[in-house]
Amino acid sequence: MSEPTPGSEPHAQGDPKLSDDVHPAEPSRGERVSRREESAASRGEGAEGEEPIRRRADRHKNRKHPWLRRGGIALAAGLAVMLVLSVAAYVKLTGNIKRLDLGEALGVRPTPHATTDKNTKLTPLNILVMGSDTRSGVVGDTNTSDARSDTNLVVHLSADRKSAVVVSIPRDSMVKAPNCKDKNSTVETGTIRQWNANYTEGGPACTIRALEGNTGLYIDHAVVIDFRGFQQMVDALGGVTVCTPEPISDEKAHLELPAGKTKVNGKQALGYVRVRYTVGDGSDLGRINRQQAFMSSIVQEATKSSLLLRPDRLFRFLDAATKSMSADEGLDPGRMKDIAESIRRIGMDQIRFVTVPTRPYSGDPNRVEWTESADLLWEALREDKPLPGQKPPPGTKPTPTPSPTTSQPLTVSPGVIQVRVTNDSGVSGLARQAAGALEVQGFRIQSYVNGEGNPTKGVVIRHGRGMEEAARTVAAAFPKAQVREDTLLGSTIEVSLGMGAANVVEVPNRLGTTPLPKPSITATPPPTSTETIAARAANQDICS
């Protein structure tokens, strides 16, 4: 006897209509439903209080389809693989970066001036990028005789992350510099030497000290790029387009290029940014112009190729970049990622390349010195303001810049601080007025005098070794004051009042309650500059 088919009743024994040799016709759907209902009724199912018969769709309602389960497993596995690869990539990139052991080699440093942006909650960021041509590898803060750095760039990111400025420092600049072997030496007590000698004599640390000492600009991070890895970065981008108004044939740079636009590979790109004597006037300033056009092209290429949206190409680029990079301890891939995320919305028209304004050096026409316009450039970066002659990005709102010295509690009482005030503004009586406002708060005034020479700008506070905290207390009385160390000074804090110097304000830890005298003299503000510092936007035609 055959087994009953699913959904049917067993055959009745001896039924003449259903013999083993006869196959009945397939019942209709209605008949099958009717039979199931009859069968259920005979079993007592479907009665009141009993679970009703469930349709097939209902029976599978709460059970996931096998393909969905497999898809979920695949997705989880994919995410796990991505996580592992991400960690591996992070470890790989982190391991690529060599570290600059700056330690305490930077000595006394300037105080950041600009404030945190209320929307981004970020502060301005200044990164010094140094190109290294040494054959023995990148140096830290030690003396290496064959170490060279002819390319120095200061990258300034605004606090609102709406703009970026890249400043090129000419290698032939003659500026004051500290003694690289003495970390307590400053530019005030140093000598004048060619800019790239700072790196040769003391590596990144001495270069940072010279930059901060001459500009008052606080450097947040330092990076050294080995030119031997530079060409790999270009190759990772798939090449970069350059434009030259005349053919280039330079044996020393191993470079042959026709006039006009050419897409170059890494080896050619390295020769292009190095070439000097056979192109244009052969000057370092001419080479800087070509390097800025090249950097513009890199920005355009990275944007055009959607580098950030191609993980494979992005990793190749970052792998090449980090292999040729030495950086301070705080600049790891995680920090670099945060910086990259913060600037991703900066438009190419708000990325500007500028060169420190210079003129021929009086002592050697083959060298240059910074002009007064350079002070305007560094001031704009210190205070996180648009470059002279440049408009702020759309939607930018000016924010006040309070004194940077009051962000942390003052630790030295005015009652133990000796102060000497010098009037360098050209306005009679200014030093006496400031001395009186300081004395009311408990400061011990040693003297107040008129300065000699040309008027200066703003307020500069100088102090001797070990007097940093006392100088901070004095600086709290002068909004936007610059604080500098002068190793020739003893325990007395010197205050120089220049054009536009702010009047004295109350310090948080003042002594006594006598109100400050109402000022009757105001320092003449410095003349408003109508000068424009030439800048190249990243979206500018590379042939211009």
**Do 107 and 186 form a contact (C-beta atoms < 8 A)?**
yes
What is the pLDDT, as a whole number, of residue 3? 43
Rounded Cα distance, 205 and 368, in Å: 23
Phi, psi (deg, nearest 5) at residue 195: -60, -50
- Which sign, positive or negative, has the C-alpha torsion 327, 328, 329, 331? negative
Angle between helices 311-323 and 66-96 (to 10 degrees): 20
d(CA 144, CA 342): 36
Task: Name 250's bridge partners.
Answer: 255
| Residue 55: per-residue pLDDT | 53
* Measured distance CA(462)–CA(445) in Å, rounded: 15
Answer whether 0.75 is exceeded by the pTM: no
- Report the amino acid identity of residue 156: H
Instruction: Return all residues near 382 (Cβ < 8 A) that are at least 6 apart.
Output: 113, 114, 215, 216, 217
Query: How much is the pLDDT for 437?
Result: 96
pLDDT tens for the 544 residues of the chain, in order: 444 444 444 444 444 333 344 444 455 545 554 455 455 444 444 444 444 555 554 554 555 555 555 555 555 554 454 444 445 555 666 777 888 888 778 877 887 766 778 888 888 999 999 988 754 443 344 444 566 788 899 999 999 999 999 999 999 999 999 999 888 888 888 899 999 999 999 999 999 999 999 998 999 999 998 877 788 888 888 889 999 988 999 888 889 999 999 999 999 998 898 888 788 777 888 889 999 999 998 888 877 766 655 667 777 777 878 888 888 888 887 888 888 888 878 888 999 999 999 999 998 989 999 998 998 899 899 889 898 888 777 766 654 444 444 468 999 999 999 999 999 998 999 999 999 999 999 999 999 999 877 788 889 999 998 999 999 999 999 988 888 888 788 999 999 999 999 999 999 999 999 999 999 998 888 766 667 788 999 999 888 8
Contact 203, 139 (CB under 8 A): yes
Q: Residue for token digits 């020769």?
A: 271
